[in-house]
Structure 1
Amino acid sequence: MAEQEQVTTAADARRYGADLHAMEETAEFMLSYIYQSLPEYPLYNGTRLTALPAARRADRISRLPRDLLRNILARLPVKDAARTAALSSRWRALWRSTPLVLVDIHLLPKAQDFSPMPANTPAVTAAVSRILETHPGSFSCVHLLSHLICCRLDVYMAKLARWLHLLAAKGIQDLILVNRPWPLNVPLPASLFTITTLTRLYLGVWKLPGTAALRGGSFSNLRELGLCFVEMEHGFVDSLVARSPALEVLNIVGYIKCRLRLRLVSQSLRCVQICGSVLEDIAVVKAPCLERLILSSPYTPNRGLCTRLRIVDAPKMHTFGYLEPGQVLEVHGTVIMPGIKPSEHAMLLGVKILSLEVCFGVRNDVKMVATFHKCFPNAERLHIVSKKCDEPTGEPLTVKFWEESGPIENVVSRINMVTFREFKGGRGEVGFLEFVFQSACVLEMVAIFMANPSFTPFSTDEALVKAQYSARNLASKSCKKCIICSSRPEDGDPWSLRVGADFSFEDPFTVREEDS
């Protein structure tokens, strides 16, 4: 293990006898997961503009106001921004004073392979150092996603420490720093957490310093924080959140080495998203501004692990998912059990958008769905993901079970939109849809997404007939229905960290154009 922790390049892998192919596969998975989670950088998208005829090629751009020209420079890749200095003395002065955007993938040769273990690391690393050292102005945004490991670890750490020192001096606001990705436990210099100008910070594949590094610190400008496949001690996130009075978005991806325990106390948090992680205890203790709590694809290394979700104080929570029946939900001190009739004190009255992941072949899971509904009496949109059931328990519960359970008030009078993903035509799935169609009086839209048969073998023709059959008795005559054949991978859905953190999307789980 000690030798593997020293692996930084393909040559190191061969030297220590590591399985290079397996390492690359793991790295590709981790990096693809991370890249899908990262926010986009604020640069011009490269669309070509129509050129003017030769007789009309007067330089009108240079005559624009200085603030507008700085805005143009700030939207160019760093190399293109530097080239403008050759246009005139005015552009040169603007370049020197404009906060630039540095994204290291723009420094790669066009034919460079963007692999997990790149071969041409020294040139790009040297270019990053040169740019940070020589640009006299500040940097508003720096995304370093590639080629960071380039030499012996001691030399590399000194270089990284220098970069952080320069970024702090230049007032960095938006910083993304991803290790690519061997070794997995490279320690991140504690000096990063002394940069008070940061408004957005994303870290990938690092070992974070202990909570002692945060003592005395305050991150008054930090509004968005993302931690991807990092190692950290318990309490680090809690402490960082407590020291970030403006933090609105918290994203955690791939925390799998230990069990994640969070105790969230924040006056500013609006969105918390956790995916691909081992969850033990998530407690929303006091979050008066929290609107979205999204927990996706929890990683369960053993069957004995049970995630506990405790909602103590989150009066504005509007969107909640993906809630699973196997998780222990505690609302205002009341543990939600199968068949319970929750009092108003044990309800989340503000939730309008609810997403559930259900194994319809597991009877206890289905029974908990009915109980969960009663905890969210004002939910108006319901998103269901039918999980693959490896070990069914007993006969599936059909529409008869739902009828005998009695009416569910929010389904009858509130739910106006339902999406059902990974539909395979199982009896439990059909029974649930029949119940919804027969009960929901104000239902306006139902979208059923068939599972991709390439990943989950089933008869698509039979499932299609069953989906249509489930809608034969409609309580709402104005309900629109659509059945969509999915081309997404297994358990694919439209939600992503980017969408979840974008408050212009009213419903991060809803049907989008690319799904239809």
Structure 2
Amino acid sequence: MGVTTRARGKRRKLQGHQTPPPPPPCGADQISLLPDDALREIVTRLPTNDAARTQLLSSRWRHLWRSAPLNLDLRDAGDISRVLATHPGPARRFAVPDLGSSFPNRRATLDVWFAAPALDNLQELELMGSYRPLPPSAARLFPTLRVAVFSRCSFPDDPAAAAFCFPRLEQLTLEYVAVSEATLHGVLAGCAALDCLLLRGVRGCRRLSISSPTIRVVGVCVTRALKELIVEDAPRLERLLMPEVWQLLRVSVISAPKLEALGWLSNHCTLEIGTIAIKCTIGEFHFDSLTTVARGVKVLALDIDNLSLDMAIDFMRCFPSLEKLYIRKFSHKCNNVWRQKMRHKMLDPIECLDLNLKKVEVSGYCGNKSHIDFAMFFVLNGRVLELMRLECGTRRNDSKWIEKQKMCLKLDNMVSRDAEFHFTRRTSWNYFTNVRRAHELLIADPFCT
């Protein structure tokens, strides 16, 4: 037994010193060695034409395109018809192009597409174009959709339209669509799982009331027709986002206990949250009462002309749990509009300055006295401040100017010793101004430039 044991131990020792097999030669096809499911996922993520061309790579890839979930995003109607006729499905996404009103047999072509077996159980639909009204045959696809984008089309204004049902829909984008108030409310009522809603340039609806047990994010922008937005009952709503509101919009939040992010509040907004009323009159904001506060809001974005320090302090008192404050100002003028009349306001401590406010970002900083006074207020009073960023014009971003500004702002006396202070070049547009799809509202920080 002892001899056998030593022999086995010797063999193990020799095996331990054996060199590992050499790596495959440079240029070897490692991707083709992946399992079929992984390769199908790769094929699905490719542009449609490129995905179809993978059949030509080798016999290993030949069967994958036909068995991979279809991502159909083509502009040529003939190509779309051929793919739907040859691919057995299932399809994950279908982007319907604008065929144009002069396209021959346009309605019949759409009906054939929407009836294709490959589109059974479709998950994502983008319908873009001058389809007025929306093709009724598209409704066949609605029950399984998780994501829907309707752009530059119109919903039929009849009782049947109110019956449109999207039981699994999580993200809905309506971009420059024409839809009546009754139809829009009917569509939203049929979205039992809706998580995110983006309305951009919607026409035909002056008043929108939202009551949804599931919705977490609502975005409204470039909507001239909409005059009133009411959040009746949204127990899971976390974000109410209004990046581009150019006409007067009255916003009422009756019940949204989890609301954390709000903005951009502009000169065109009148806001009511519970019993708090913030009204805009000729470019000025007025707080009807500061005896009640909205403690849930942690992120606030302001886009107010002639914003004063007095006004900023009122906002901080109104939202004592603020952790992030964004201020956007597009004017390049350096008028003395930010005042330092705050001594009477500082008799009572500002809760968010003492306990919560960690980030302040100001766009359009010019470095004149009024702007310095405004920024210095946060330097000298933000006890838990972690980051303050001032966006400046390119002409005011050289090293000498920045050093002079740091001296004027008394950064050596900053009450929060761990805070970072940055001067950055001002960007032309905030990220949020380019939002086109509902899922873009879900990024970690939609107000950060």
Q: TM-score higher than 0.5 here?
A: yes
Specify the alignment match of 2:388 in structure 1. Answer: 446
* Pairs within 5 Å for 1:197-208: 197-208=144-155
Structure 1 residue matching 2:188: 3-state secondary structure: helix
The corresponding residue for 1:370 is 313
Deviation for aligned residue 1:186: 3.6
Q: Which residue of 2 aligns with 1:357?
A: 303
Q: Which runs of 5+ in 2 are unaligned?
A: 1-22, 280-285
**TM-score normalised to structure 1 length:** 0.70
**Comparing 327-336 and 437-446, the one that deviates more:** 327-336
- Alignment partner of 1:336 is 2:278: yes
Cα distance in structure 2, aligned partners of 1:500 and 1:469: 43
**Among residues 121, 128, 138, which one is paired with 2:80 in the alignment?**
128
Distance in structure 2 (CA, Å) of the matches to 1:282 and 1:203: 20
Mapped partners of 1:387, 1:134: distance in 2: 53
- What number of residue pairs does the alignment pair up? 414
Residues 378-393 of structure 1 mapped to structure 2, 5 A cutoff: 378-388=321-331
What is the rounded CA distance, in whole Å, between the counterparts of 1:169 and 1:339 in structure 2?
53
Q: CA–CA distance in 1 between the matches of 2:239 and 2:357? A: 19
RMSD, aligned α-carbons? 3.4
Q: Secondary structure at the match of 1:136?
A: coil
Structure 1 residue 289 and structure 2 residue 232: aligned?
A: no
Is this contact kept in 1: 2:334–2:366, CA < 8 A?
A: no
Matches within 5 A, 1:1-400: 53=25, 64-85=34-55, 91-104=61-74, 124-145=76-97, 148-150=98-100, 152=102, 155-166=105-116, 169-179=119-129, 186-195=132-141, 196-210=143-157, 212-255=159-202, 257-258=203-204, 260-278=206-224, 279-300=226-247, 306-336=248-278, 338-344=286-292, 347-360=293-306, 367-388=310-331, 396-399=337-340
Note the C-alpha offset of 1:83: 3.6
1:470 is matched with which residue: 401, 409, 418? Answer: 409
Structure 1: unaligned runs, 5 residues or longer: 1-50, 106-123, 301-305, 512-516
Matched residue type, 2:304: V
Alpha-carbon distance in 1 for matches of 2:369, 2:334: 15
CA, structure 1 residues 368+237, in 2 after alignment: closer, same or farther (shift >3 Å)?
farther
Distance 2:319 2:85 in 1: 55
SS at match of 1:323: strand
- What displacement does 1:86 show? 5.3
Q: Check whether the contact 2:162–2:184 (CA below 8 A) recurs between aligned residues.
A: no
CA distance in 2, matches of 1:408, 1:427: 24
Match of 1:411 in 2: 353
**Residue aligning to 1:506:** 444
Percent identical: 28
Q: C-alpha displacement at 1:497, in angstroms?
A: 3.3
Q: Which has the larger radius of gyration?
A: 2
Provide the secondary structure at the position in 1 that maps to 2:343.
Answer: helix
2:183 and 2:294 map into 1 onto residues whose CA distance is 28
Corresponding residue SS for 1:141: strand
For residues 372 and 305 of structure 2, what CA distance do their matches in structure 1 show? Answer: 13
Are the aligned partners of 1:341 and 1:374 in contact in 2 as well (CA < 8 Å)?
no
Give the whole-Å Cα distance in 1 for the aligned partners of 2:119 and 2:418.
Answer: 61
Letter in structure 2 aligned against 1:170: D
Offset of residue 60 of structure 1: 7.2
C-alpha distance in structure 2 between counterparts of 1:500 and 1:232, whole Å: 18
Encode CA deviations 1:3-53: one digit per residue, 9 max, x unaligned: xxxxxxxxxxxxxxxxxxxxxxxxxxxxxxxxxxxxxxxxxxxxxxxx974
